[in-house]
């Protein structure tokens, strides 16, 4: 399995290339077990519980339309026979067709946008119908969550060569650019007031950065848009500057002042998939190549300094990649009750942006592992490492 992205990684760092190949194998091994053949969709999550003898029990929980669409977006890069293995016997186009058929019942804008994006990427004949459903859910002038607004733009950019979407694309692009606060290069959690309580309206998450920077880069790649590219570049530059010494992509940011509010949890999907796919798409669009930051983030998956520091002398830290189970554990977190550290820092930085409340770091060390794995994590992983210039 070789793509330009994997090839470049092999040239730069052979051990990391082996890690990426290993992770892709884990994704392909794990996704079939997350598929629910009776309903032709994917679970929301698989949760792992360790038995006294060291064996694991994986419990399937819930279902997710958006995770199914993201999985289709990534699986389409696999050879057809392997697409069918991952997608319950369907190709990515066939599986996307099942999702398109369900669109009349979809009420969430993000879910609809992801299905439309998959329809555009797989060349589905009912792409126009999918986009109409997105338009019906995207009420003009109504604030939206930034992640979902970004997925709308990515769907429209992907459809641009097939359907006339210019007016809608311009509106979606402008909405993201206007959402930024002052001169900050980072994006807030919502595109306008009303969706987030005032006391934490300045707090945005990592996904609020990667999806807009990806969407704006793709908008530029689909039709020259230097302003969109510059915004994507500025966001990427800032989150890479804030990246942790151990390669961590931090979780909560101050969208006003472009700093970190609270770093934890650190999510595996950010390290191996979401940061790479956004930064790769930026480079493909003609922006800066942040390959060194991508490699640093990927390296965290096996080094995990938080767990290494917390291990007792001579003990082996818990691994986040379990090849035999086909999972990567979801995150490393503090284990603080009711996410107390995030709440305290969110409230404090509203008034004092530079406040760190450092005693909290000593009391609630990030040494807990969330033993869950969700299908979208593998969908974006396939998208990140198998996509790119080969398209």
Burial of residue 181, with CB atoms counted within 10 A of its CB: 0-12 exposed, 13-18 middle, 19 or more buried: middle
Asked if residue 35 belongs to a domain, the reply is no
* Sequence-ordered list of residues with C-beta below 8 angstroms from that of 52, at least 6 positions apart, any chain: none
Q: Which two tokens stand for residue 254?
A: 């101050």
**Confidence (pLDDT) at 387:** 94
Tally the domains of the chain. Answer: 1
Asked if residue 51 belongs to a domain, the reply is no
**Confidence (pLDDT) at 353:** 64
Contact 95, 122 (CB under 8 A): no
CATH classification at residue 178: 1.50.10
Q: In terms of Cα–Cα distance, which of 330, 223, 221, 378 is closest to 285?
A: 221
- As a 3-state breakdown, the chain gives helix, strand, coil percent values, each rounded to 5, of 55, 10, 30
Asked if residue 121 belongs to a domain, the reply is no
In this structure, the number of other CB atoms found within 10 A of the CB of residue 138 comes to: 19
Asked if residue 115 belongs to a domain, the reply is no
In what helix (H) or strand (E) does residue 43 lie, and over which residues does it extend?
Answer: strand 41-50
* Sequence-ordered list of residues with C-beta below 8 angstroms from that of 193, at least 6 positions apart, any chain: 143, 201
Burial code (b: 16+ CB inside 10 Å, e: under 16) for 299-332 equals bbbeebbbbeebeeeeeebbebbbeebbbbbbbb
Asked if residue 208 belongs to a domain, the reply is yes
Q: In terms of Cα–Cα distance, which of 175, 250, 256 is closest to 216?
A: 175
Positive or negative, the CA dihedral 205, 206, 207, 210 is: positive
Asked if residue 57 belongs to a domain, the reply is no
* Sequence-ordered list of residues with C-beta below 8 angstroms from that of 287, at least 6 positions apart, any chain: 217, 229, 232, 233, 236
pLDDT above 70 covers what percent of the chain? Answer: 89
Contact 377, 271 (CB under 8 A): no
49 CA to centre of own chain: 25
Asked if residue 150 belongs to a domain, the reply is yes
DSSP β-bridge partners for residue 46: 60, 373
**Confidence (pLDDT) at 189:** 98
How much is the pTM?
A: 0.92
DSSP β-bridge partners for residue 372: 47
- Beta strand segments in 185-285, E: 203-205, 252-254, 259-262, 266-267
Asked if residue 256 belongs to a domain, the reply is yes
**Confidence (pLDDT) at 348:** 59
Which tens digit of pLDDT belongs to each residue from 247-266? 999 999 999 999 999 999 99
Q: What are phi and psi of 49, to 5 degrees?
A: -125, 130
Per-residue pLDDT of the chain (391 residues; tens, 9 = 90+): 556 999 999 999 999 999 999 999 999 999 999 999 989 999 999 999 999 998 999 999 999 999 999 999 999 999 999 999 999 999 999 999 999 999 999 999 999 999 999 999 999 999 999 999 999 999 999 999 999 999 999 999 999 999 999 999 999 999 999 999 999 999 999 999 999 998 889 999 999 999 999 999 999 999 999 999 999 999 999 999 999 999 999 999 999 999 999 999 999 999 999 999 999 999 999 999 999 999 999 999 999 999 987 665 566 789 999 999 999 999 999 875 656 555 555 455 555 565 555 666 655 677 899 999 999 999 999 999 999 754 4
Give the CA-trace dihedral at 108, 111, 115, 117, to 10 degrees: 110
Q: Domain span at residue 226? A: 4-27+144-386
């Amino acid at each position: 399995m070789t793509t330009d992205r994997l090839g470049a990684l092999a040239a730069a760092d052979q051990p990391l290339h082996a890690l990426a190949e290993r992770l892709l194998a884990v994704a392909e091994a794990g996704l079939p077990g997350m598929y629910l053949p009776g309903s032709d969709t994917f679970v929301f999550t698989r949760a792992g519980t360790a038995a006294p003898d060291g064996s694991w029990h994986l419990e399937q929980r819930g279902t997710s339309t958006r995770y199914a669409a993201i999985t289709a977006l990534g699986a389409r890069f696999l050879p057809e026979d392997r697409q069918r293995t991952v997608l319950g016997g369907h190709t990515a186009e066939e599986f996307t067709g099942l999702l398109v058929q369900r669109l009349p019942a979809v009420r969430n804008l993000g879910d609809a946008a992801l299905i439309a994006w998959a329809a555009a990427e797989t060349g589905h004949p009912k792409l126009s119908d999918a986009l109409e459903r997105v338009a019906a859910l995207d009420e003009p002038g109504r604030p939206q969550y930034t992640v979902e607004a970004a997925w709308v733009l990515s769907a429209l950019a992907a459809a641009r060569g097939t359907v006339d979407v210019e007016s809608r694309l311009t509106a979606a692009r402008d909405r993201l650019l206007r959402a930024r606060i002052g001169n900050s290069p980072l994006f807030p959690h919502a595109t306008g007031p009303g969706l987030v309580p005032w006391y934490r309206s300045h707090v945005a998450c990592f996904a609020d950065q990667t999806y807009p920077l990806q969407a704006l880069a793709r908008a530029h790649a689909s039709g020259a848009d230097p302003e969109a590219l510059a915004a994507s570049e500025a966001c990427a530059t800032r989150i890479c500057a804030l990246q942790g010494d151990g390669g961590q992509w931090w979780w909560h940011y101050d969208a006003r002042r472009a700093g970190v509010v609270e770093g934890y949890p650190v999510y595996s999907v950010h390290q191996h998939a979401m940061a790479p796919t956004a930064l790769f798409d930026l480079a493909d669009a003609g922006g800066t190549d942040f390959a060194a930051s991508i490699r640093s983030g990927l390296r965290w998956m096996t080094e995990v300094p938080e767990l290494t520091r917390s291990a007792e002398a001579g003990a082996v830290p818990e691994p986040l990649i379990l090849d035999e189970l086909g999972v990567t554990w979801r995150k490393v977190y503090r284990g603080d009750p009711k996410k107390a550290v995030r709440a305290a820092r969110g409230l404090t930085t509203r008034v004092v942006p530079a406040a760190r409340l450092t005693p909290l770091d000593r009391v609630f060390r990030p040494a807990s592992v969330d033993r869950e794995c969700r299908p979208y994590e593998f969908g974006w992983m396939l998208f990140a490492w198998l996509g790119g210039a080969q398209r």
